[in-house]
Structure 1
């Protein structure tokens, strides 16, 4: 049980750590265009992302797949750029765009899981029985992700309902700001890719 709480804490602290703000930016741009009243859609969206990153986190931590770390570090901000662009381009939500968001969240979760796995593998070292630690870390990541989602939904609620900012203006502001940050990250990380 002590191991579970330790890895749970490491999981949520890892995703909420501003040192790795790329994951925070992704969750913000993924959910920041929704309202508190859209909590069911946000729950499905976050669950799709969680399923994706859980799969690759487990496969990589168990050494079933091996990844080029520098390529993954480049692809993470690419997922942020794409998500930001979709938010900027689409003016209204339809059933098709909502379904596309779920599919992209799942797919992008696969990429983000590979980024989390490097951190987890460094914590586990040569430990061979990692199922409990993997589960605890993943639950911790999910908890941290929910904290970020709640914060961004509360900020959105305040801006839209109290400050009376238009929803489209908030979407454009948030998505454009995050797009700019992520694009700079892409450019910086592209130069660091080591192809094998």
Structure 2
């Protein structure tokens, strides 16, 4: 069954990980800043969404898949979720919970025109990456003395990821003509993109897990993941304050 790393790293390793985290943050900031601007639907896709009317199933499936595959924040969270999952049954449960969460709020958010400030929701998505990395590092067990419900956390953060998707779609003023089938098609595309991303992650993780370096570097990998999440939070909050 899923579970984070329970043993804390040696003190020397912890210091190295902290130094690596700070170094990675400095390097990642300009990269993620540019990526954060690119994470929204591309300008060409935006223009296409605003121009078309009626039911357009295949184009919206393509747009949904493209958005998920290029959505680095969603993929980072997905990586954190399956990092220590080995059985396909457990992977299926957690990925299904994430899909249920983001599908629900994406569909309802757009249909009922409920949007959240994009900087705030993207900062919360960055927080989800930080949370999952800390969970994988066993931080909550050491700090709180118990393990939070990982399934419930995956579902709840899935809701926030879905609001991130709905907020971006609302910004592009999609036509009400054919809205529901187009949204369903977009969501199907998102799930296809998620499965493609998951397949790639599982292939890479499968090879890595067979090597002795996996458990030696798992803690460090989650420190880097946590750092990326903090950078995302900082970038989005900065954008919110200066916008």
Q: TM-score range by the shorter chain?
A: 0.7 to 0.9
More off after superposition, 45-54 vs 21-30: 21-30
What is the CA–CA distance in structure 1 between the aligned matches of 2:224 and 2:185, rounded to whole Å? 33
Q: Could you give the per-residue CA deviations for residues 111-140 of structure 1, whole angstroms, max 9, x where no partner exists?
A: 000111133334562324411111111111
- Residue 175 (structure 1) aligns with: 222
What is the CA–CA distance in structure 1 between the aligned matches of 2:75 and 2:165, rounded to whole Å? 13
- Residue 116 (structure 1) aligns with: 165
- Residue 69 (structure 2) aligns with: 16
Matched, 1:4 2:45: no
What is the CA–CA distance in structure 1 between the aligned matches of 2:229 and 2:115, rounded to whole Å? 25
Return the TM-score normalized by structure 1. 0.83
**Offset at residue 64 of structure 1 (A):** 4.9
What is the CA–CA distance in structure 1 between the aligned matches of 2:84 and 2:221, rounded to whole Å? 8
Q: How does 1:133-144 map to 2 (within 5 A)?
A: 133-144=182-193
**Offset at residue 44 of structure 1 (A):** 0.8
What is the CA–CA distance in structure 1 between the aligned matches of 2:213 and 2:92, rounded to whole Å? 24
Which of 187, 190, 193 is equivalent to 2:237? 190
Which of 91, 99, 111 is equivalent to 1:50? 99
What is the CA–CA distance in structure 2 between the aligned matches of 1:136 and 1:53, rounded to whole Å? 14
The answer on whether the counterparts of 2:101 and 2:157 sit within 8 Å (CA) in structure 1 is yes
**Offset at residue 91 of structure 1 (A):** 10
The answer on whether the counterparts of 1:32 and 1:153 sit within 8 Å (CA) in structure 2 is no
Q: Could you give the per-residue CA deviations for residues 38-96 of structure 1, whole angstroms, max 9, x where no partner exists?
A: 1111111011011111111012111253322221021110111011100011699xxx9
Return the TM-score normalized by structure 2. 0.68
**Offset at residue 186 of structure 1 (A):** 1.0
Q: Cα RMSD between the aligned structures?
A: 2.5
* Structure with the greater alpha carbon radius of gyration: 2
The answer on whether the counterparts of 1:57 and 1:117 sit within 8 Å (CA) in structure 2 is yes
Unaligned runs of 5+ in 2: 1-54
What is the CA–CA distance in structure 2 between the aligned matches of 1:177 and 1:71, rounded to whole Å? 22
Matched, 1:67 2:120: no
The answer on whether the counterparts of 1:75 and 1:111 sit within 8 Å (CA) in structure 2 is yes
- Residue 78 (structure 2) aligns with: 27
What is the CA–CA distance in structure 1 between the aligned matches of 2:216 and 2:198, rounded to whole Å? 19
